[in-house]
Structure 1
Amino acid sequence: MLQIEGWKRVLITLVCLAGILLAVPNLFYDRVERFNDAEAAIEAGVTTPEDAADAGLWPGFLPSGLVNLGLDLRGGAHLLAEVNLADVYAARVDAYWPEVRDALRGVRAEAGTIRRQESAGDALVVRISQPEGMAAAVEAVRGLAQPIQTLSGVGSTDIEVSGAGDLLTLTLSDAERARVDEQTMQQSLEVIRRRVDEAGTREPTIQRQGADRILVQVPGIGSAQELKDLIGSTARLTFHEVIGSTGDPEARVSADQLLVPVADPSRQGELRILERTPVVTGDDLTDAQSAFDQNGRPAVTFRFNPAGARLFGAFTSANVGQPFAVVLDGEVVTDPVINEPITGGSGQITGNFTVEEANVLGITLRAGALPAELTFLEERTIGPELGQDSIDAGQVAALVAMGAVVVFMVLSYGLFGAFATVALGLNVALIFGLLSLIGGTLTLPGIAGIVLTIGMAVDANVLVFERIREELRTAKGPARAIELGYEKALSAIVDANVTTFIIAVILFALGSGPVRGFAITLGVGILTSAFTAIFVTRLLVVMWFERRRPKTIEV
């Protein structure tokens, strides 16, 4: 008997209504977006008169979820950056110097005096005065090696030590380099993600590409340069003991010292001679905020964690009356004199900042320092106008596709084709409703996925209608023909949709960027198409049949 239980009818109707309700906010995109921004500001406790006005743009009892627009639809910035891993090797090797120095002092009787030599960044070279004691020196430094705690590095240590003549050389092992590479890329991804999130942007794409590259796409940001300013600086903050000052960029300093330029334009050409090993680094920061100093100039306040506060307090207590340098990304931003011990664990960075620069610096310090400098290999800015053009083109394509499908279905199947077109409209609404619910991002390839789904959505109906035609030829009556048509076409519908859905899952798992956008809309479209074909169209046909009770039907 051709019938659908009452609870199933209610459930199908509720699903369709819920999908329409979730999709409706996308018809008023700008208004709902401003409403959502105002609600977020009110929850954060930072409101303006504009926020109060925008909070009334949309009824609070209605859903306000939106389909996020990707870079190619909203406009924004695209960057491809390369992480300079060699910088990390140099920093890791340099960090071994205090331990190496102490270890060699323990074998001074055999090795004699030691002096660090200038060398390539990924090697630490030490000259000993008694070459005959090289074996003892190498053995002492090898005692600093630690086993690699990764599956790929089992049985390896983190450093390799060798000696030739009077020169001892320490380098990172291959296993340690591999571990550092992976750790550096993961840390870089996380730091960039935190910086972008701090800036309040929507749905950024931040992902690793290859061994040492990172792709960053941020919709809604003004330009690629603005994005570079936000994520490009390493924000490597260190505090150093000041040895002296010079104006000669060719001045020779020992391997234990650094020659660092002063950032202040009024002191152009001045260089500070600093102790190479920092007293404390930005890794010990727990917070950083833009503020104003006692003279009303933009500044950045910071606070250390307990370990950093202890080190900083001990240093300032032992060096009252001496200057210390705050170095940010290779420049001395300030070098105040220590007037009294700073034991509270907080301080202030002053310099020739603008308000915007102080705000960006606060964001970058809060997010943490990039472990290595980024080299930008590709940058692209997509304007909002181009994004709107893409949306308009996608809308035209979708309407043309839908119109062609409607004409074909009505001409081919008559009234049953009209039922299929109603289900098609509901299918599109369900796609946008589901994307809004899960917070999916719509890209130009995603629109292509929706257009493809519109074409594929009627496939199931075609299978059913053709099957009903075959059953009508056996003269079993219209009710039985419709029932058998849906029953016998079900397996083919499920098989076709399951195989296509598997492909969508594979594209999402292995693809990136635009490919994932296409996979998401294709997968969601397959789910909604199967639902509308199997349930919605059948419900429409059954309701029509119950109302008209035709003796014969024509498909």
Structure 2
Amino acid sequence: MKIFNYRLIIFTLSIIFGVVFSIPSLLQTDTGKKISLGLDLQGGLHMLLGVNTHEAVTSKIKSVATSVKYFSDDEELLIDGLSIENDSVVFSVLDADEIPKMDEMLKQINGLEISKEDLKYRLKLTAEDIEKTKDLAVAQAVETIRNRLDQFGLSEPSVLRQGQTDIVVELPGIKTAEDEKAARELISKPANLELMAVDEERADQANTMTSSQAASYGDVILEDTNNPNIKYLVKEIPILNGSQVVDAQVAFDQSNQPIINFTLNSTGARIFGEFTGKNVGKRLAVVLDGKVYSAPNIRERIGGGSGQISGGFTMAEAGNVAIALRSGALPATVTMLEKRSVGPSLGADSIQASMIALISGFALVFVFMVFYYRRAGIIANIALIVNIFIIIAIMALFGATLTLPGMAGIVLTIGMAVDANVIITERIRELIREGASIPKAIEDGYSNAMRAILDANITTLLVAVLLYAYGTGPIKGFAITISIGILASMLTAILGTHGIYEALMSKISKDKDSKKWFGVK
């Protein structure tokens, strides 16, 4: 009597895998990986955000000005009047012999529309590059917000682009006002870090000078983060910005107050070192989101590409700013267009309704299979139970989020999982009616049914893949559960039940009772 076979061994390992990895989700244990519930099942926060894409264009213009300043300083080119006017960078080259060198540098910056009159340059972004910058700003905002929420530790946030400039953010599990406030601040914080030179010649005029007067000198007036009455006059073109930051961590100063240590990339470190070396004795303003957090004197050249931000942070504020800096600054500010809280009671009702559908559907299928196919139906039901365990285990193992459409997918999978067993059993019954022996009918039944099962499952799997690739959050959840269910059903129905029949073949042949085993004489 051949009890053990490779099909049965694989099926047994699948049972162990399914049971072990689904227990944390089914019993909600404190340890182990579990399935996360989506916004529609456990409640949370739904937000629609709008990205101010014009700010991204302004930011790129400013970065072009920074590149011009760095190049001219590095190559010791004399330029004058470097400033930003109406989304254009204007400056003059003082030495006509240096124009070819400046022209060669500007050719390396893509998307520029360059106009030149004598020694004066005016740089603008092309219309095509403006649209490209706006589109990229929304795409970068989606990735930046998603990275921030992941680092913040929120469970399975959903961040999706909607239309040209909007972003949909869904945060399951946000139930308190404090959690909601922290999440909103983290999402909306631009975290735009800039290191800007203080205009030492006119610094004492910061409180009396108007913005237009400051602009005529290529300066801007910024407030102190702790005291708005304290003003700083700084150069409009920053020395460095947050794009050069590669790491940011919370630390403590000598008075045990939270500060943020940041690290620059190699390019930023070189620019920072050269600037501090040439400006010993002057001040460098550390500006975050348009406010000056500190403006220390440069005592010596600062190498290594690191610095710190201090400004009376609380521990929570410092942590959120560090997360925002690590994940990158938003290319443009985002505004709240719509906010909707989903209560957990709605999710509880959905879970209850879905569980009723799942249990009742499973019970009806279970009873029908046993009544119609007898012991073959029992074997099919075993495969069906294992199939459900495997679906839960795989989703838990990969940290998938279960949404209401996902639960609908599991309910649908119950019917699809038993479908392969129905096809196989019907093929076996047909062969038995034609007079084949039971062992021969079983082997030929699996062979004959294989093509129909593969065609049906592969077709459905391709549709599920397309749904996942092009669908939104809820549709993706449905596609994931269907895909896992299809693969699991092929394992349990084709491999698992065949292994059980092989193990019981001696007993089935001895009984010679096809009605008891397959419901047919």
Which bracket does the TM-score occupy, shorter chain normalised? 0.7 to 0.9
1:56 aligns with none
Q: Does 1:246 align with 2:202?
A: no
Q: How far is the alpha carbon of 1:504 from its aligned partner? A: 1.2
With over 3 angstroms needed to count, the CA separation of the structure-2 counterparts of 1:460 and 1:260, relative to structure 1, is same
Alpha-carbon contact 2:82-2:90 (below 8 Å) kept: yes
Q: How far is the alpha carbon of 1:382 from its aligned partner? A: 4.0
Q: How far is the alpha carbon of 1:181 from its aligned partner? A: 4.6
SS in 2 for 1:340: coil
With over 3 angstroms needed to count, the CA separation of the structure-2 counterparts of 1:532 and 1:117, relative to structure 1, is closer
Alpha-carbon contact 1:419-1:537 (below 8 Å) kept: yes
Map 1:280-299 onto structure 2 (within 5 A): 280-299=240-259
SS in 1 for 2:472: coil
One of 93, 117, 123 as aligned partner of 1:170: 123
Q: Does 1:89 align with 2:44?
A: no
Q: Does 1:499 align with 2:499?
A: no
With over 3 angstroms needed to count, the CA separation of the structure-2 counterparts of 1:437 and 1:309, relative to structure 1, is closer
Alpha-carbon contact 1:138-1:168 (below 8 Å) kept: no
Q: How far is the alpha carbon of 1:534 from its aligned partner? A: 2.1
> What letter matches 1:547 in structure 2?
K
Alpha-carbon contact 1:446-1:521 (below 8 Å) kept: yes
One of 204, 216, 223 as aligned partner of 1:261: 223
Q: How far is the alpha carbon of 1:387 from its aligned partner? A: 4.3
Map 1:80-479 onto structure 2 (within 5 A): 80-97=48-65, 119-120=85-86, 122-124=87-89, 144-146=105-107, 157-162=110-115, 169-177=122-130, 179-181=132-134, 184-185=137-138, 187-221=140-174, 223-243=179-199, 244=203, 245-246=206-207, 252-255=213-216, 256-264=218-226, 267-305=227-265, 307-309=267-269, 311-313=271-273, 315-316=275-276, 319=279, 322-336=282-296, 338=297, 340-341=299-300, 343=302, 345-383=305-343, 386-479=346-439
Alpha-carbon contact 1:146-1:158 (below 8 Å) kept: no
Alpha-carbon contact 1:326-1:332 (below 8 Å) kept: yes
Alpha-carbon contact 1:78-1:224 (below 8 Å) kept: no
d(CA) in 1 for partners of 2:357, 2:135? 43
With over 3 angstroms needed to count, the CA separation of the structure-2 counterparts of 1:458 and 1:333, relative to structure 1, is same
> What letter matches 2:187 in structure 1?
I
Q: How far is the alpha carbon of 1:90 from its aligned partner? A: 1.5
With over 3 angstroms needed to count, the CA separation of the structure-2 counterparts of 1:304 and 1:351, relative to structure 1, is same
Q: How far is the alpha carbon of 1:517 from its aligned partner? A: 1.3
SS in 2 for 1:161: strand
Q: How far is the alpha carbon of 1:363 from its aligned partner? A: 1.8
> What letter matches 2:88 in structure 1?
A
SS in 2 for 1:402: helix
With over 3 angstroms needed to count, the CA separation of the structure-2 counterparts of 1:96 and 1:520, relative to structure 1, is closer
1:36 aligns with none
Q: Deviations over 1:405-458 (max 9, x none)?
A: 123323333333333222211111121223334443322221111110002222
Map 1:463-542 onto structure 2 (within 5 A): 463-541=423-501
d(CA) in 1 for partners of 2:29, 2:383? 28
Residues 487-496 or 307-316, more deviating: 307-316
Alpha-carbon contact 2:62-2:84 (below 8 Å) kept: no
d(CA) in 2 for partners of 1:301, 1:15? 49
Q: Does 1:67 align with 2:31?
A: no
> What letter matches 1:258 in structure 2?
V
SS in 1 for 2:225: coil
> What letter matches 1:27 in structure 2?
L
d(CA) in 1 for partners of 2:84, 2:18? 68
With over 3 angstroms needed to count, the CA separation of the structure-2 counterparts of 1:232 and 1:516, relative to structure 1, is same
Residues 497-506 or 536-545, more deviating: 536-545
Q: How far is the alpha carbon of 1:80 from its aligned partner? A: 3.9
Any unmatched runs of 5+ in structure 1?
Answer: 33-63, 105-112, 149-156
Alpha-carbon contact 1:79-1:224 (below 8 Å) kept: no
With over 3 angstroms needed to count, the CA separation of the structure-2 counterparts of 1:4 and 1:164, relative to structure 1, is farther
Alpha-carbon contact 1:299-1:348 (below 8 Å) kept: yes
SS in 2 for 1:31: coil
With over 3 angstroms needed to count, the CA separation of the structure-2 counterparts of 1:146 and 1:209, relative to structure 1, is farther
Residues 138-147 or 344-353, more deviating: 138-147
SS in 1 for 2:511: coil
d(CA) in 2 for partners of 1:270, 1:526? 65
SS in 2 for 1:81: strand
1:154 aligns with none
d(CA) in 1 for partners of 2:119, 2:289? 35
d(CA) in 1 for partners of 2:80, 2:308? 38
With over 3 angstroms needed to count, the CA separation of the structure-2 counterparts of 1:298 and 1:97, relative to structure 1, is closer
Q: Deviations over 1:308-366 (max 9, x none)?
A: 45544554555555444221111122334x17336255443222322211111122223
SS in 1 for 2:153: coil
SS in 1 for 2:215: coil
With over 3 angstroms needed to count, the CA separation of the structure-2 counterparts of 1:314 and 1:450, relative to structure 1, is same
Q: How far is the alpha carbon of 1:184 from its aligned partner? A: 4.0
> What letter matches 1:353 in structure 2?
F
> What letter matches 1:10 in structure 2?
I
**TM-align CA RMSD:** 3.9
> What letter matches 2:484 in structure 1?
V
Q: How far is the alpha carbon of 1:522 from its aligned partner? A: 0.4
Q: Which has the higher contact order (CA 8 A, sep 6+)?
A: 2
Q: Deviations over 1:11-45 (max 9, x none)?
A: 3323333332332332232422xxxxxxxxxxxxx
2:25 aligns with 26
1:550 aligns with 511
Q: How far is the alpha carbon of 1:271 from its aligned partner? A: 3.4
Q: How far is the alpha carbon of 1:368 from its aligned partner? A: 2.7
2:75 aligns with none
Map 1:8-47 onto structure 2 (within 5 A): 8-32=7-31
Alpha-carbon contact 2:5-2:502 (below 8 Å) kept: no
> What letter matches 1:12 in structure 2?
F
Alpha-carbon contact 1:138-1:162 (below 8 Å) kept: no
Q: How far is the alpha carbon of 1:541 from its aligned partner? A: 4.7
Q: How far is the alpha carbon of 1:526 from its aligned partner? A: 0.8
SS in 1 for 2:34: coil
SS in 2 for 1:238: strand
Alpha-carbon contact 1:249-1:271 (below 8 Å) kept: no
TM-score (normalised: structure 1): 0.77
Any unmatched runs of 5+ in structure 2?
Answer: 73-78
d(CA) in 2 for partners of 1:536, 1:102? 68
With over 3 angstroms needed to count, the CA separation of the structure-2 counterparts of 1:427 and 1:361, relative to structure 1, is same
